[in-house]
């Protein structure tokens, strides 16, 4: 019987007679010649489109959020007492900046200055005059902006003036008085005073800027209803956290001119804004002046 053996050969490979076929290399790469290559899968743009959509949405949200934040932190002029609209009679003040404190001095109302002592020069805390105004020649101040006690007392009626003078002579804690005055084309005369006391306790006891005061030509005052109406429903607009502001209007009937007064207590300082007008003191300039002076003292 003749032995027969089956020899496996790679397809398409001829074997010469009498020659043993070469063993297959198990590590050789397979020959893919002739095998059709499938087309490349198209790129999936869905992820890219989704990312773009989310980016656009985020940008829209950020813009909307920024607009909302701006609307919150920048109240409309109609919501700020005395600063209603563009043409409501407001004055144009120069750029106002708080003065630089002496080295090492704390800010007023800082945690280490709860008494609210102001270490800046008093004249630098005094509100500047608005643009277009004329200085009040009757309110003379020295080169540092200080006015004498007697000049300040001229604001009051004789009877009330004597009362304040006696209190000052008995050591009311008054240290300095700074003052500035001006008149504007609308006919309003303004005088602003800052009084520095030894402490906030002395400042709180000062009677010269309260409802019972009697000014020269204006003996009786009541709370300014226009200020109260402007403040109603506005917990923060135009108000400082550490100061107390009250405005008073001369009671009717008044004479040829009306007087209104803004009173500010800020720690060891008392601010006093006096405005008069031959007809009636406009609400907007008074409120604007009081608010700006109040901000300087905060």
> C-alpha dihedral over 8, 13, 19, 24, to 10 degrees?
-60
SS3 279: coil
Structure tokens that stand for 273 in this block:
């804004």
Q: Give the H/E segment covering residue 261.
A: strand 258-266
> C-alpha dihedral over 172, 177, 183, 189, to 10 degrees?
0
Give CA 270 to chain center in angstroms. Answer: 22
**How do strand 269-277 and strand 189-197 relate by DSSP bridges?**
antiparallel
Instruction: Say how many C-beta atoms besides its own lie within 10 A of residue 273's C-beta.
Output: 25
pLDDT in tens, 158-213: 999 999 999 888 888 999 999 999 999 999 999 999 999 999 999 999 999 998 99
pLDDT at 107 over 90: yes
Among 184, 217, 188, 214, residue whose Cα is nearest residue 280: 188
Look at the pTM and tell me if it is higher than 0.75: no
Residues in the chain: 298
Task: Tell me the domain boundaries of the chain.
Answer: 77-297
Write the Ramachandran bin of 63: left for phi over 0, alpha for psi from -120 to 50, otherwise beta: alpha
Supply φ then ψ for residue 234, to 5 degrees: -125, 95
Among 285, 278, 229, residue whose Cα is nearest residue 250: 278
Euclidean distance between CA atoms 148 and 178, whole angstroms: 8
The pLDDT, as a whole number, for residue 294 is 96
Euclidean distance between CA atoms 204 and 26, whole angstroms: 103
pLDDT in tens, 111-166: 999 899 999 999 999 999 999 999 999 998 898 899 999 999 999 999 999 999 99
Beta bridge partners of 266: 269
pLDDT in tens, 261-275: 999 999 999 999 999
The pLDDT, as a whole number, for residue 24 is 52
Question: Residue 88: is the preceding peptide bond cis (ω within 30°)?
Answer: no
Euclidean distance between CA atoms 172 and 164, whole angstroms: 9
Detail the DSSP E strand segments found in 172-242. Answer: 174-183, 189-197, 221-223
Euclidean distance between CA atoms 119 and 126, whole angstroms: 13
Of 7-16, 38-47, 171-180, 220-229, the least confident: 7-16
pLDDT in tens, 87-101: 678 999 999 998 989
């Amino acid at each position: 019987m003749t032995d027969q053996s089956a020899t496996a050969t790679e397809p398409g490979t001829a074997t010469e007679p009498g020659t043993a076929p070469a063993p297959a290399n198990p590590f050789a790469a397979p020959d893919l010649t002739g095998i059709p290559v499938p087309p490349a899968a198209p790129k999936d743009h869905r992820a890219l489109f989704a990312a773009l959509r989310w980016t656009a949405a985020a940008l829209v949200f950020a813009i909307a959020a920024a607009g909302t934040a701006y609307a919150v932190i920048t109240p409309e002029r109609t919501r700020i007492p005395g600063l209603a609209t563009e043409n409501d009679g407001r004055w144009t003040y120069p750029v106002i900046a708080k003065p630089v404190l002496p080295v090492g001095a704390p800010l007023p109302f800082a945690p280490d200055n709860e008494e609210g002592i102001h270490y800046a020069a008093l004249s630098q805390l005094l509100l500047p005059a608005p643009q277009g105004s004329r200085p009040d020649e009757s309110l003379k101040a020295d080169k540092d902006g200080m006015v004498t006690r007697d000049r300040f007392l001229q604001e009051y009626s004789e009877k009330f003036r004597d009362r304040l003078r006696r209190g000052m002579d008995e050591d009311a804690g008054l240290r300095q008085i700074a003052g500035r005055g001006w008149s504007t084309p609308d006919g309003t005369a303004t005088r602003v005073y800052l009084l520095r006391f030894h402490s906030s306790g002395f400042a709180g006891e000062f009677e010269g800027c309260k409802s019972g005061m009697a000014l020269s030509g204006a003996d009786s005052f009541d709370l300014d209803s226009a200020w109260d109406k402007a403040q109603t429903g506005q917990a923060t607009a135009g108000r400082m956290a550490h100061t107390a502001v009250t405005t008073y209007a001369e009671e009717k009937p008044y004479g040829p001119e009306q007087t209104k007064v803004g009173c500010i207590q800020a720690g060891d300082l008392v601010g006093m804004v006096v405005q008069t007008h031959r007809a009636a003191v406009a609400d907007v300039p008074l409120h604007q002046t009081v608010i700006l002076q109040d901000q300087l003292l905060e």
